[in-house]
Amino acid sequence: MHAASERAIHPASRKQAFGICYLPGIPVENTLPLRRAVMKPAVELYDTTLRDGSQGEGVNFSVADKLRIAERIDAFGIHYIEGGWPGSNPKDIEFFAQAKRRKFKHAKLAAFGSTRKKGVAVESDDQVRLLIEAGTPVVTIYGKTSMLHVREVLRCTPDENLGMIGDTVRYLKDHGKFVIYDAEHGFDGYKLDPEYALATWQAAEQAGADMVVLCDTNGGCLPGEVAAITKAAAGRLNCRVGIHTHDDIGLGVANALASIEAGAVQVQGTIHGYGERTGNCNLTSVIPCLELKMGKTCLSATSLRKLKELSLFVDEVANLRHNPRQPWVGSSAFAHKGGAHVNAVQKLASSYEHIEPALVGNERNILVSDLSGRSNILLKARDLGFKLADGAPETKQILDRVKELEHAGYEYEAAEASLALLIRGILDHNPELLFTVDDYHVSMRGNRKTSTNEATVKVRVGDEVHHEVAEGDGPVNALDGALRRALAKSFPQLKKVTLTDYKVRILDGVAGTGAKTRVLITSTDGKREWGTVGVSENIIEASLQALVDSMEYALLKK
């Protein structure tokens, strides 16, 4: 189908014709309202980042962190937020105590726990008591589905397990709670003994559970299995069915979508798939799949456009570096590197993009490397603020220089500031430098236990020469301090510039300690962030190159 005929398709048939809400040449704001009016969601979203997600390796939230994330997820439009397990630790008890004083606009807060203990009356179970004292409108409890777990983990009779489920659900309902029952190992238990698995789900339903959620706790099921068992559950239960998947074989999202297609109406997951082992169902992937690929209403179009913003916020609060390769919301999700791809995207965006990036708050990213063509250079130069005509002779000069330098070990995908300086140098025909480093010296002395690092830098700014010395935690830190101190005399605005990341890559391992080294530095002035690169057999020299580029870029106006 040609672009002209695509634009001629009637609005009502766009989704049917393409399976997505994206047509080249039609602004995003004109396509979104056509999807549907905001109505009761076809699929409810249940976020467990603060509980299941916090169990992931390297993920730690303070009480303040959890409150900030809960408020942002609520503002985004998620329907349920699982705040934690008040029976497991003081932090979660404190979280619920503070959350009681907050007002949530969209989400219902849920406390998480388990069924009563074996041999303990439900009204005497301290863990159940804490669930009620958490003061949340929703309580989610899990119970055993698998006969194997009943016998080997709980070590009780099958009937007692059914009693534990029914007693706990009934008690929580008597206290006015909306009860979600998470059927732990729901799929594995069903495959082992379908009738007993069904009996556990019916025990929860008959006691008044508002929803039964099937859990692929080990994360090892395939989409076909999940779909079949979800369909069986939905056919035998009168209450609604939900899905909770893990990503142990990389199918957390696929299994959740398979369950939704088979009749589930709620999907549980975490932002970025945070969670134990390899993680949970990734909400930042499953939400746009539901909305844009399956036509399942779960959020407003306005919220969907804030998806990347939410993902960045949660990573920032979790103090985790954002994964650029995250589907939908990563910086590489709509990045184009190959020259042929870039050329095609210029003409017809949908040739290499499955949706308009702005639908999820993302943007197109044109990369420049030794695989680049002229289209890459043109688009990237314009993104960086340069006016470069289509047939400009400088385009080939820039392209040739980039390929030459990348062959020498430079890499510009994460060093856009260094690329901008390179382009500026060619377009302005070697402009006068704002400053030059006339000389530098770095020394280190000490022993295996302690050391002192010192750097001396002599910088020329016009006719002035600044000579400074600084100490640091390492030689590069000392060099950075001396350079910054020298330049700040003429450029006080550089006092705001700080380094946020420093990476070293050995480019030729067989050369041993004499190998060429590439240094990538990320810097910020509090408002914007940029990357620079340096390459040399000497790691200090490579670091200085990247540092000088960082300072020079900070002084330039876009």
**In the predicted model, what is the mean pLDDT of the chain?**
84
* pLDDT of amino acid 30: 41
State the Cα torsion 314-318-322-328 to the nearest 10°. Answer: -30
Coil, helix or strand at residue 326: coil
380-424 confidence digits (pLDDT tens): 777 777 877 777 788 778 878 877 887 788 877 668 888 888 888
| Tokens read off for 531 | 């990357």
User: Which of 59-73, 168-182, 463-477 has the highest mean predicted lDDT (pLDDT)?
Assistant: 168-182
Q: Which of 264, 252, 286, 177 is nearest to 213 (CA)?
A: 264
The topology (CATH level 3) of 435-490 is: Double Stranded RNA Binding Domain (3.30.160)
Rounded to whole angstroms, the Cα distance separating 194 from 191 reads 6
| Tokens read off for 322 | 């954002």
Query: Do strands 138-144 and 108-114 pair parallel, antiparallel, or not at all (unpaired)?
Result: parallel
Query: Does position 445 have pLDDT exceeding 50, yes or no?
Result: yes
Beta bridge partner(s), residue 178? 138
Rounded to whole angstroms, the Cα distance separating 269 from 281 reads 5
Query: Does position 38 have pLDDT exceeding 80, yes or no?
Result: no
The topology (CATH level 3) of 408-424+497-558 is: Double Stranded RNA Binding Domain (3.30.160)
Domain ranges of the chain: 3-34, 50-318, 335-393, 408-424+497-558, 435-490
Coil, helix or strand at residue 82: strand
310-337 confidence digits (pLDDT tens): 998 898 788 787 888 899 898 767 676 6
Query: b/e for 257-295, b at 16 or more Cβ within 10 A?
Result: bbbbebbbbbbbbbbbbbbbeebbbbbbbbbbbbbbebe
Q: How remote is the C-alpha of 293 from its chain's centroid? A: 20
CATH fold match for the domains 408-424+497-558 and 435-490? yes
Q: How far apart are the first and last CA of the chain?
A: 40
Q: Are 329 and 278 in contact (CB under 8 A)?
A: no
Beta-carbon neighbour count of residue 4 at 10 Å?
Answer: 8
Mean pLDDT confidence for 467-491:
91
Rounded to whole angstroms, the Cα distance separating 335 from 381 reads 15
Query: Does position 34 have pLDDT exceeding 50, yes or no?
Result: no
197-224 confidence digits (pLDDT tens): 999 999 999 999 999 999 999 999 999 9
* pLDDT of amino acid 508: 67
The per-residue DSSP string of 448-495 comes to SS-EEEEEEEEEEETTEEEEEEEEESSHHHHHHHHHHHHHHTT-GGGG
Give the class (CATH, top level) of 50-318. alpha beta
Confidence tier at 176 by pLDDT (50, 70, 90):
very high
Mean pLDDT confidence for 433-457:
87
In the DSSP assignment, the letter for residue 207 is T
101-119 confidence digits (pLDDT tens): 889 999 999 999 999 999 9
Q: Are 294 and 19 in contact (CB under 8 A)?
A: no
141-173 confidence digits (pLDDT tens): 999 999 999 999 989 999 999 999 999 999 999
Q: Are 460 and 438 in contact (CB under 8 A)?
A: yes
Query: Does position 448 have pLDDT exceeding 70, yes or no?
Result: yes
* pLDDT of amino acid 509: 52
* pLDDT of amino acid 451: 81
